[in-house]
Structure 1
Amino acid sequence: MSSSIHLKQIDHRFTLAKQQVSLFEDLNIELHSGQSYAIVGPSGVGKSSLLLLMAGLEPPVSGEVQFQKSGKPQLLKSLRQISGFIFQQFHLLPELDALNNVALPLKLKGDKRALTTAELWLDKVGLAERMYHKPQQLSGGEQQRVAIARAFVMQPQFIFADEPTGNLDEKTAQHIAQLMFDCCQQSGAGLVLVTHSMELAQQADTLLQLGQGKLTVKARNQATSRVGALC
């Protein structure tokens, strides 16, 4: 079943020192499951805010964020229920081993096969032999692989990743990025990531560039277009 996220006429701003700072104005864009998108741009232009809007985690000041399945509108809260999240900070529970960190979302839903499914995903990310280790016993790259497995364990239709390789060395970051893209491709999930790395961003199907008052959209091997404005 194909899914899509539609941002329609989005305006978004925040207040800083009693001054209103506008991030997006009349922004329109569509995201589709099975496709990958990279949000890039200078610090402070609103990359993470855009990611939160796309994920339905933050409401825009005006405009509409719509989630659709097979072209039919769905409640926005249903998007959050079928989404996975990967962050720069791994957000693993220190008292749980890798297996139970990955299994936790399934356990919270009462899934009796939670541990079995978690084992399968840890094997997919190359951590079958480390599943009983706690986060403090794992390297940064291994912790991020646990976080990736946890994000995919619920069979999400979209993965949202905010600087997922920001705390990793270059070699480990390349491995983690490839793993993330591979998992999305195999599962059919859409991937939306924020990154400062142009090398990582260029692996995505579509580049979303924030800067100079514009959102510039460039599909791989296609011409550049501009969608909406930033002020």
Structure 2
Amino acid sequence: MSNHIALENVSQSFSAEETKVELFNNLNLTINQGQSYAITGPSGTGKSSLLMLMSGLENPSSGSCTYVENGQKKSLTLLRENIGFIFQQFHLLPELTALNNVALPLKLRGDKQALTKAKTWLDKVGLSHRLAHKPLQLSGGEQQRVAIARALVFEPKFIFADEPTGNLDQHNATEIADLLFACCQENNAGLILVTHSHALANRAEHIFSLADGHGIATAIEQLEAVS
């Protein structure tokens, strides 16, 4: 079996106004490196929380989330440097230019080619003319592109994206989706998307639909374009 992230009997809940809210119960899910997944479902069913659990950024109320490499179970924290996360709210550093926001993950790793690689990725997302602009000088869609370039610049093993095309028009959304899926294939990365877009979800190899507190995993074939 390929390297993968394993969620076993995972439940997640939180307290709100002295009431316990359960998002999901006893979910079992395997995320294989090199495959693509979409998480869909109505608002409030825990899609973003599930994404945070898969990436190791949050811990479940119960159950386990592990990274299995060459048959050996390991803590998800060991995978953290190989995870790219595209947040819905971007989380760009306002004092840094687009170029330096993208280069930052590489600089933290001591990569001397950080700026060169960052320029390459900003060009890939169509922002070669915005290198010196800070986040507040960019539109929401442009900020999303910077966030995507930052997540992909170090070629992670797994890419997690929370509504990655939610702030883009249809043309730009298609271009960014093409880029995400191409990166997944070229680098043998796992791609996990939270999305309300049926078109984007249907491009994934697997769909995980959350509803009524329970997850239903469904494998689908890649859809052919209908002319």
TM-score (ref. length: structure 1): 0.88
- Secondary structure at the counterpart of residue 90 of structure 1: coil
Counterpart residue type for residue 57 of structure 2: L
TM superposition shift of 1:9: 1.0
Instruction: Quote the residue 1:69 is aligned against.
Output: 69
CA distance in 2, matches of 1:147, 1:54: 19
Q: Which blocks of at least 5 consecutive residues in structure 1 are unaligned?
A: 223-231
Which residue of the partner structure matches residue 199 of structure 2? 199
Query: Unpaired runs of 5+ in structure 2?
Result: 223-227
Q: What is the CA-CA distance between 1:59 and the residue it aligns to?
A: 1.0
Residue 45 of structure 2 corresponds to: 45
| Runs of 4+ with >6 A deviation | none
SS class of match (1:141): helix
Which residue number corresponds to residue 215 of structure 1?
215
Say whether 1:15 aligns with 2:2: no
Paired residues for 1:25-104 under 5 Å:
25-104=25-104
1:158, distance to aligned residue in structure 2 (A): 0.5
Matched-pair identity in %: 59
In 1, are the aligned partners of 2:125 and 2:176 still within 8 Å (CA)? no
Q: Secondary structure at the match of 1:110?
A: coil
Q: Is the 8 A contact 2:144 2:167 kept in 1?
A: no
Q: State whether structure 2 residue 119 is matched by structure 1 residue 122.
A: no
Q: 1:123 to 1:170 in 2, by over 3 A?
A: closer
Determine the C-alpha separation between the residues in 2 that align with 1:45 and 1:115. Answer: 40
Deviation for aligned residue 1:139:
3.4
1:54 match: secondary structure: helix
CA RMSD, Structure 1 to Structure 2 (Å)? 2.0
Task: Kindly indicate whether residue 169 of structure 2 is the aligned counterpart of residue 161 of structure 1.
Answer: no
Q: Secondary structure at the match of 2:27?
A: strand
Q: State the one-letter code of the partner of 1:103.
A: A
Bigger drift between 120-129 and 6-15 goes to: 120-129
- Is the Cα–Cα contact under 8 Å of residues 25 and 214 in structure 2 kept in the other structure? no
- The 2-side partners of 1:133 and 1:118 are apart by 14
Give 2:182's aligned residue.
182
Q: Deviations over 1:37-90 (max 9, x none)?
A: 111001111111111111111111111111022222223211222101112222
Q: Which moved more, 1:211-220 or 1:11-20?
A: 211-220
Aligned to 2:204, the other structure's residue is in SS state coil
After superposition, the C-alpha distances for 1:81-131 in whole angstroms (9 at most, x for unaligned) are 210111222222232222111101111222222112212222332333332
User: How much does 1:15 deviate?
Assistant: 1.1
Report the TM-score when normalising by structure 2.
Answer: 0.89
The farther-off stretch of 193-202 and 165-174 is 165-174
1:227 aligned partner: none
Question: Counterparts of 1:80 and 1:13 in 2: how far apart (Å)?
Answer: 24
What is the distance in 2 between the residues matched to 1:60 and 1:19?
18
Structure 1 residue 213: Cα displacement: 4.1
Give 1:176's aligned amino acid. I
Contact 2:37 2:204 in 1 (8 A): yes
SS at match of 1:5: strand
Q: Deviations over 1:122-167 (max 9, x none)?
A: 2332333332333334333332222111101122101111111222
> 1:189 Cα shift?
1.2
- Distance in 2 between the 1:204 and 1:182 partners? 12
Structure 1 distance, partners of 2:98, 2:11, is: 40
> Is the 2:38–2:204 Cα contact (8 Å) retained in structure 1?
yes
Q: Between Structure 1 and Structure 2, how many residues are aligned?
A: 222
Contact 2:205 2:221 in 1 (8 A): no
